[in-house]
Amino acid sequence: MPFSLSLRNLLLGKEHIPDRRTFKYALLRAQFTVLTILVALYYVGLDLFNGAYKFIPYYLVMVVISAICLHLNRIGKYTSSSVLLLLMTNTVIFLFSDVDQPQGGVYFYFVTCALAALVLYGYQQRYLGISFALLSIGLGLLAYQVDLNLIDRPSDQPEAVMRNFISNFVIGILTSSFVVFFLIKRNHDSERASMESTEQLKKTTEDLNQSQERYALALRGTKAGIYKWQVANNQMFISPYYKSLLGYHDDELAELTPDFYLAQVVHPEDLARMRENFAHPELVAPTYQSELRLKTKSGEYKWFLDSGVLKRSPTGAVEMVVGSIIDIDERKKAEEEIRKKNVQLAKTNEELDRFVYSASHDMRAPLSSLLGLIHLSEKTNQPEELHLYLAMMKERIKTMEGFIREVTDYSRNTRLDITPSEIILKPLLREIANALAYSVENKKVRLLWHVPDDLIVTTDASRLKVVLNNLISNAYKYHDQKKSERFIKISAGRMDGKTWIHIEDNGIGIAPEHQHRIFDMFYRASETSEGSGLGLYIVKETLQKLGGTISVSSEPEHGATFSFSVPDLS
């Protein structure tokens, strides 16, 4: 076994010390301890040579305590070893300084103790080092000012004083020089390591710069924003391009936390899934990919594709999550538009099938009736009968005309763009109501108005007319002729940026089992219902186009109230 390794094992034990700084200070502490033992043994020999035996027990106590300090140092009790060593040396030096003459030079060792305390504790435990240094100064001043005479005084013969001074001076200088030499050597080692590290750092920096350039080019090509989540301290880092994807500048979102990210950035509909991922990252796949919506600086939500990987510790715990986001908003909008068109197409196909079937039936019936009436009129010469047949033909033609008008309204609502304009509501309502009143055989239906004269709605005028025409027409059409007082009450107003309109009548009403289906295409509430069954369906579709809603409240024989609202269109 090499001598250096044997010496190292003797001073520090055979246990490996992984930390270089800890190793150096442990070695220095062991060297101080051995130095203290050698100094004590030197004074034992010196006292034996001089024939002075009364201080030898103190020196032997120093040897024993130093040996204990060395043992503590070997087993890793570094703080205990340092404290015991410094307390012992300061105490012994104080005892000798208290009884020795200042000319004896014992005070030199207080300097050595102070330096040793500062070096042993280093900068990281500087307060302990300073405390022990102040202790040495305080004990030195106390020994100089006060004679406690805790132990016997040494010989005051000039020759003995001179020998003690020379010994104390030389050994004090040597031990202090040893401490300073350690600092110089440590500084030299640090400078050499720093120079080596600097050279290595330069090379690493060059490699890193090249790697970063390649990495930046790759990221620029993928148009991805990078993020990193440190799970231990719950902190997030996002790249400048990530910020730009959300509309932020590079100096914004400097301290992004998962809590802020979840509360302020993630869309509410995606929040539950993301909260689960953040709360239990261990349940997320090692590589993951998901689509979510994030809020931009302008307040708009955009779709992003989130991809990443998880870094786990040897125990399986998630330490870090690294990933990227890519803007897929245009793609998602296109997919949503396609989905809506597919839904609309499916709806259109379904309605077309029903329309063809019902339209052929509804148009065939009046035509068949017309053919029958024409056939009957050809066989009669009676003016009264001809007049009756012609009146009945006229009714059949009106029925077909109404059906064609409804089909035209439906087609226009589907194909034509919305054209908003400002409409004074009350004159429009009066015009429609008065025009429809002439189509009612028994005109004893009273109109009640609760509409402000200056109420203006900004919407598509032609579509609003279709809605009002159908609803007021139904109110006239289904009035209850058995009632002496028949009325239609029209009310309107504004609330929350919308115009609401109620059309109430006291007609025959609608049975509860039919109310949820009256807005379906070609649905008739009873066999005696007039019309094609398209009117209320067109009302609902038209209001949906305008962004409005409609509801109905009705009781049989007590009338019905249709309530709808439309927002202002710009």
Any idea what the CATH number is for the domain that residue 405 is in? 1.10.287
| Residue whose C-alpha is closest to residue 225's, from 236, 240, 237 | 240
Q: What is the pLDDT of residue 360?
A: 55
In a shared domain, residues 280 and 316:
yes
Q: What is the mean pLDDT of residues 324-336?
A: 86
Asked if 70 and 188 sit in the same domain, the reply is yes
Q: Are residues 455 and 443 in the same domain?
A: yes
Q: Cα-flanking dihedrals φ and ψ of residue 306, to 5°?
A: -105, 120
Closest CA to 136 of 87, 172, 177, 181: 87
Residue 21 maps to a domain: yes
Instruction: Let me know if residue 76 belongs to a domain.
Output: yes
pLDDT digits (tens, 9 = 90+) for 262-300: 888 888 888 888 888 777 777 777 888 888 889 898 889
Q: How far apart are CA 287 and CA 306, in angstroms?
A: 11
What's residue 522's pLDDT? 65
In this prediction, residue 359 has a pLDDT band, given cuts at 50, 70 and 90, of low
- Residue 494: the pLDDT is 93
Find the domain containing 242 and state its range. 223-327
Q: Where are the alpha helices (DSSP H) in 379-460?
A: 383-415, 425-437
Q: Using an 8 Å Cβ cutoff, are 11 and 24 in contact?
A: no
pLDDT, the chain, mean = 81
- Answer yes or no: do 335 and 320 share one domain: no
Strand order in the sheet with 301-312: 235-238, 224-230, 318-327, 301-312, 287-295
Amino acid at 461: A
Distance between CA atoms of residues 300 and 500, nearest Å: 30
Q: In what order do the strands lie in the sheet with 549-555?
A: 446-450, 487-495, 498-505, 559-567, 549-555
- Nearest 5°: the CA angle 543, 545, 546 is 65
Sign of torsion, CA 462 463 465 466? positive
Q: Is the pLDDT of residue 358 over 60?
A: no
Please give the average per-residue pLDDT across 64-88, as a whole number. Answer: 88
Look up tokens 């139904």; give the residue.
474
Classify residue 40 by burial, with Cβ atoms within 10 Å: 0-12, 13-18, 19+.
buried
Examine the domain organization and report whether 385 and 296 are in the same domain.
Answer: no
Number of domains the chain contains: 4
282, 306, 327 - which closes a domain = 327
- In this predicted structure, what is the pLDDT of residue 533? 67
CA dist 538 and 424 (Å) reads: 23
* Structure confidence at residue 564 as a pLDDT band (50, 70, 90): very high
- Residue 528 included in any domain: yes
pLDDT at position 458? 93
* Confidence class for position 221, pLDDT limits 50, 70, 90: low
- Over the stretch 147-196, which tens digit does the pLDDT of each residue have? 887 777 776 677 767 777 887 788 878 888 877 887 787 777 777 777 87
Any bridge partners for residue 235, and if so which? 230
Q: How far apart are CA 16 and CA 138, in angstroms?
A: 39
The answer on 56 and 190 residing in a single domain is yes
Q: Is position 217 within any domain?
A: no
**Residue reference for tokens 């035209």:** 408
Percent of the chain with pLDDT over 90: 11
Residue holding tokens 């249709």? 562
Q: Are residues 152 and 235 in the same domain?
A: no
User: Does 308 fall in a domain?
Assistant: yes
210 in any annotated domain: no
Distance CA 481, CA 384 (A): 28
pLDDT of amino acid 348? 67
Say yes or no: 157 and 253 in one domain: no
Does residue 214 lie in a domain region?
A: no
**562: confidence class by pLDDT, cuts 50, 70, 90:** very high
